Structure 1
Amino acid sequence: MNVERMVIRVVLLVALAIPLGACALEGEPGRPVWNTTLTIDAPARAEPLARGETVPDFSATGLDGRRVAWTDAAGRPAALIVWASWCPHCQRVLPLVARVAAEFPMVTVLTVTTSIGRHPGPSPSEFVRAQTLPFPVALDDSRNTLAHALGVYRIPVTYWVGPDGRVRDVTEGERGEATLRELFRALAATSR
């Protein structure tokens, strides 16, 4: 009897832990939540970009009102992070990314904030200001067009991209500071 209860508890813990590593994006077509203009050279895709694939060109209105474009990272290693300000995993990992990224100035960090206004929590501008995040933030539209064209349906997702524009690694959910440092170090080694 005790063995059965132990097995049930383990199964329940595993089942509950799996969705805790990332937040799911919801689609609410036609619900305007932010004023942004964006372009992307790719349709929505069902799966995240895989290693070896090229990140599609995109540009969007930035949180500061200026354009943020993938071409801003051209020829340099880059971390492309898709996140939302209401996502607790994003709230924990982005300050760590900022701290670690400061050690690797040869790596460009670009971010896309998506699913804006869908859940209670800080707005993207409130979150970025409170955390003093130093990297550009592109604003996705109310249909999550950028996120879906990048194959992102759970956040945060980080694409670790070489100077050739090809994905070298993909991480979903939270990563600790030591793991982030190793990912940045590996990407920095590809710098020309």
Structure 2
Amino acid sequence: MKKKIIAMLLIAVMIGIALTNFVKTKIAEEQEVDALANSSLANSGLAVGQMAPDFELETLDGKKVKLSDFQGKKVILNFWATWCPPCKEEIPHMQKYYEKFAKEDNFEIVAVNLTNKDKSIEYVKEFAKTYEITYPVLLDTEGKQMKQYKIRIIPTTFYIDTKGVIQENKPGPVDQDSMKESIKSLD
């Protein structure tokens, strides 16, 4: 009888040790994943304080537009793709904010579609119609601006002041409140 009790206690202790090690391993793995994700987010895009590199791309209707065309205005420069769920989530917020405050707050949204990673230009045009996007959508057909701006996560949004200097770099989706706060900080 005593041998059975001792054996059962020994088994219970061994199970407890195994569970403790399992839990510690899982926690360590989660911390490692979080650290990696945070370092990736921190390294997505150009640094705050840099001049925003100028570029020229075509709009959905074939006009050539340069980023420097918006000099003197605050710019929300957004990199996105049609297949990206967080991008789809933020577009209505961007559109509503643009309609309400663009003139009042002297800003422009410039949305750079990563066309080289998307289905086709025609698909992007249909997508923009469906989402009723009225701000400029530029087509990065070769992926040059994605490389130039060091985009690793989409969406990534840069807030650029009236002098062309990057004041904020936000990987991940934005909403109206965060845009309003970021635009106000550019004053």
TM-score (norm 2): 0.72
Match of 2:178 in 1: 179
Q: CA deviation at 1:83?
A: 0.9
Residues 119, 154 of structure 1: alpha-carbon distance in 2 compared, 3 angstrom cutoff: farther
Match of 1:157 in 2: 156
In 1, are the aligned partners of 2:115 and 2:139 still within 8 Å (CA)?
no
- Deviating beyond 6 angstroms after TM superposition, the runs of 4 or more aligned structure 1 residues are none
Equivalences for residues 12-161 of structure 1 within 5 A: 15=33, 48-105=45-102, 106-116=106-116, 118=118, 123-142=123-142, 144-161=143-160
In 2, are the aligned partners of 1:104 and 1:185 still within 8 Å (CA)?
no
The one-letter amino acid of 1:129's match is K
> Quick one: percent identity of the two aligned structures?
22
Computed over aligned residues only, the root mean square deviation of the Cα atoms, in angstroms, reads: 3.1
| Length, aligned pairs only | 163
Q: CA deviation at 1:172?
A: 0.4
Structure 1: distance between partners of 2:124 and 2:28? 36
Q: Which of 1 and 2 has greater Rg?
A: 2
Q: Which runs of 5+ in 2 are unaligned?
A: 1-17
The one-letter amino acid of 1:68's match is V
Residues 178, 6 of structure 1: alpha-carbon distance in 2 compared, 3 angstrom cutoff: farther
Describe the SS at the equivalent of 1:56: coil
In 2, are the aligned partners of 1:157 and 1:173 still within 8 Å (CA)?
yes
Structure 1: distance between partners of 2:72 and 2:111? 17
Structure 2: distance between partners of 1:104 and 1:112? 20
Q: Which runs of 5+ in 1 are unaligned?
A: 23-45
Higher relative contact order (CA 8 A, sep 6+): 1
Structure 2: distance between partners of 1:177 and 1:6? 40
In 2, are the aligned partners of 1:90 and 1:156 still within 8 Å (CA)?
yes
Q: CA deviation at 1:71?
A: 2.0
